[in-house]
Amino acid sequence: MGGLALLARAAGHRVTGCDANVYPPMSTQLEQEGIGLVEGFEEAQLAMVPDLWVIGNVVKRGTPLMEAILDRGLPYVSGPQWLANNILQSKWVLAVAGTHGKTSTSSMLAWILEAAGQSPGFLIGGVPENFGVSARLTGSPYFVIEADEYDTAFFDKRSKFVHYGARTAVLNNLEYDHADIFPDLAAIETQFHHFVRIVPRSGLIVSNGQEASLECVLERGCWTPIERFGANSGWRAKVRSPTEFEVHLEGRTLGRVCWDLLGEHNRMNALAAIAAARHAGVTPETAITALSGFRNVKRRMEVSGVVGGVTVYDDFAHHPTAIATTIAGLRSKVGTDRLVAVLEPRSNTMKRGVMKDLLAASLTAADRIHCYIGGLEWDASEALAPLGSKATCHADLEILIAALASESRAGDHILAMSNGSFGGLHAKLLAALNARAQTPGTQR
């Protein structure tokens, strides 16, 4: 919704907004762009008298402001529908869907098009460091969008991505998630089927050939050409080093990506972006060169700081698969250095404990694990018991931070993972490490 506000303003509208618990980087971005933000959803906000209320899916029935809007018969629309009607209708939309990697792949794709001189518009659920903003409106015919499967609004339970009118559709992967709205994987597959069946025959579907669930979706009906990546045929990556890989298409070597990103998941994201960009007229060679200058997305393995030889990272990983691949990527970089994983299971799915039985396995590659259990509805200590003494759970964030600062030593890599602000853990931990470094006799 923050990105949508940026697009609406760029389209010439006066934009204000209300939300709860907004945190960086979005809060910072809105402030920098001069977009007013009111905390909370109170009826008094009717005094703004807007021409249209654009409703995000965090708003539910019973929210005082929404109830007042309905009582007065004021005009309102969902965010995705407003976007479709006012921004996307005349665009060649390149939409990136999947359980994981949407933000990174969308950012890569937008950067490839930018490097090719296409100056695309985009709406991304994070802040790509190459652009510094999460959304941009341009005169280009191309528009890249992160295509979320989460529901549209309380009054429209379809997935957001069915509104976008994709011409180029990327299907990154498909696992069970969003347990608050989907009862099982089959329900999500149905939404992906709805997405696939409205991609035109002149379009292209770029699909992860290693995902059985995506093959199930495509088998239900597909009227669009398909290119697969990561499979035995199609687009493939041949690893040369942790930060270098060759791009192959049907056995032909097209070039080598040399970048700072880590992990198999990022190589797969890159293949998808290269294939999607080719559909929009960008040669793979141009795309490969562009990716060598890609600077990642904020909160994706972002270094928050280094104090006393201890490196602190911020990452958005919150699903067990993403946690495992993120740790594996960092492990490939740091080798045998001590890797400390710090996790806040904050998503609606994780809070419900749906993935708790997979959590321990996702963390095994870390040398030490700290888990913040505030707000959980299940016993994290029991779920992490297979990890033995290397895992500790904390109900108090300040105690967790103190433990991290006390245990850390030069050469450690502390990877903090959360899909929220994590209570400002990164800054607080760096401050604690700095304070320890200033105290004689506390260095390890």
Assign 3-class secondary structure to the chain: CHHHHHHHHHCCCCCEEEECCCCCCHHHHHHHCCCEEEECCCHHHHHHCCCCEEECCCCCCCCHHHHHHHHHCCCEEEHHHHHHHHHHCCCEEEEEECCCCHHHHHHHHHHHHHHCCCCCEEECCCCECCCCCCEECCCCCEEEEECCCCEEECCEEEEHHHHCCCCEEEECCCCCCCCCCCCCHHHHHHHHHHHHCCCCCCCEEEEECCCHHHHHHHHCCCCCCEEEECCCCCEEEEEEECCEEEEEECCEEEEEEECCCCCHHHHHHHHHHHHHHHHCCCCHHHHHHHHCCCCCECCCCEEEEEECCEEEEEECCCCHHHHHHHHHHHHHHHCCCCEEEEECCCCHHHHCCCCHHHHHHHCCCCCEEEEECCCCCCCHHHHCHHHHHHEEEECCHHHHHHHHHHHCCCCCEEEEECCCCHHHHHHHHHHHHHHHHCCCCCCC
Tell me the backbone φ, ψ of residue 418, rounded to 5 degrees. -165, 150
Q: What is the pLDDT of residue 36?
A: 81
- State the pairing for strand pair 92-97/135-136: unpaired
Cα–Cα distance, 257 to 247 (Å, whole number) = 7
Cα–Cα distance, 126 to 132 (Å, whole number) = 10
Q: Would you list the domain boundaries of the chain?
A: 2-79, 87-291, 302-437
Residue 94 and residue 105 in contact, taking contact as beta carbons nearer than 8 Å: no
Bridge partners (DSSP) of residue 342 are: 370, 416
**Cβ count within 10 A of residue 338:** 17
User: Digits of tens for pLDDT over the chain (444 positions)?
Assistant: 889 999 999 999 999 888 887 777 777 878 888 888 888 899 999 998 999 999 998 899 999 999 999 999 999 999 999 999 999 999 999 999 999 889 999 999 999 999 999 999 999 988 899 998 899 999 999 999 999 999 999 999 999 999 999 999 999 999 888 878 888 999 999 999 999 999 999 999 999 999 999 999 999 999 999 999 997 779 999 999 989 999 999 889 999 999 988 888 899 999 999 999 999 999 999 999 999 999 888 778 788 899 989 999 998 887 888 899 889 989 988 999 999 999 998 887 777 777 888 889 999 999 999 999 887 778 888 889 999 999 999 999 999 999 999 999 999 999 999 988 888 888 999 999 988 877 765 555
Q: What is the pLDDT of residue 340?
A: 95
Question: Measured in Å, how far apart are the chain's first and last C-alpha atoms?
Answer: 45
Q: What is the pLDDT of residue 198?
A: 96
2-79 belongs to CATH 3.40.50.720: yes
Q: What is the pLDDT of residue 443?
A: 53
Tell me the backbone φ, ψ of residue 186, rounded to 5 degrees. -60, -35
302-437 belongs to CATH 3.90.190.20: yes
Q: What is the pLDDT of residue 213?
A: 95
Q: What is the pLDDT of residue 442?
A: 55
Q: Does residue 25 have a cis peptide bond before it, meaning omega lies within 30 degrees of 0?
A: yes
The fold for domain 87-291 equals: UDP-N-acetylmuramoyl-L-alanine:D-glutamate ligase (3.40.1190)
